[in-house]
Structure 1
Amino acid sequence: MSENPVMALDSFIPVPDISVLELAVVICCARRPGVDGARLAKTIGRWFGIKLVENDLKTSLRRLSHRDWLKSDGTGLHVGEEAREKAEFAAHGLVQLLFRDRYFFDVGKLLDVSIVKEDQSHED
Structure 2
Amino acid sequence: MEPRSVTAIDALAPIPEISVVELAVVICFTRRPGSDVASVVAEIGRWFNISLVESDISNALRRLIHREWLTTDGIALHATEAARDKAELAARGIVQLIYRDRYFFDVGKLLDVTLIREDRPDAE
TM-score w.r.t. length of structure 2: 0.90
How many pairs does the alignment contain? 121
Q: Which residue type is aligned with residue 31 of structure 1? A: R
Aligned to 1:46: 46
Per the TM alignment, residue 117 of structure 1 is displaced from its structure 2 partner at its CA by 1.9
Per the TM alignment, residue 4 of structure 1 is displaced from its structure 2 partner at its CA by 6.9
Verify the 8 A CA contact 1:36 1:75 in the aligned structure 2. Answer: no
Per the TM alignment, residue 75 of structure 1 is displaced from its structure 2 partner at its CA by 3.4
Per the TM alignment, residue 87 of structure 1 is displaced from its structure 2 partner at its CA by 0.3
Provide the secondary structure at the position in 2 that maps to 1:104: coil
Per the TM alignment, residue 74 of structure 1 is displaced from its structure 2 partner at its CA by 3.8
Aligned to 2:101: 101
Q: Which residue type is aligned with residue 91 of structure 1? A: A
Aligned to 1:112: 112
Q: Which residue type is aligned with residue 91 of structure 2? A: A
Provide the secondary structure at the position in 2 that maps to 1:115: coil
Give the CA RMSD over aligned residues.
1.7
Query: 2: distance between equivalents of 1:79 and 1:90?
Result: 15
Please list, as runs of the form range in 1=range in 2, the aligned pairs for 1:55-70 lying within 5 A after superposition: 55-70=55-70
Per the TM alignment, residue 71 of structure 1 is displaced from its structure 2 partner at its CA by 1.4
Gaps of 5+ in 2: none
Query: 2: distance between equivalents of 1:103 and 1:111?
Result: 14
Gaps of 5+ in 1: none
TM-score w.r.t. length of structure 1: 0.90
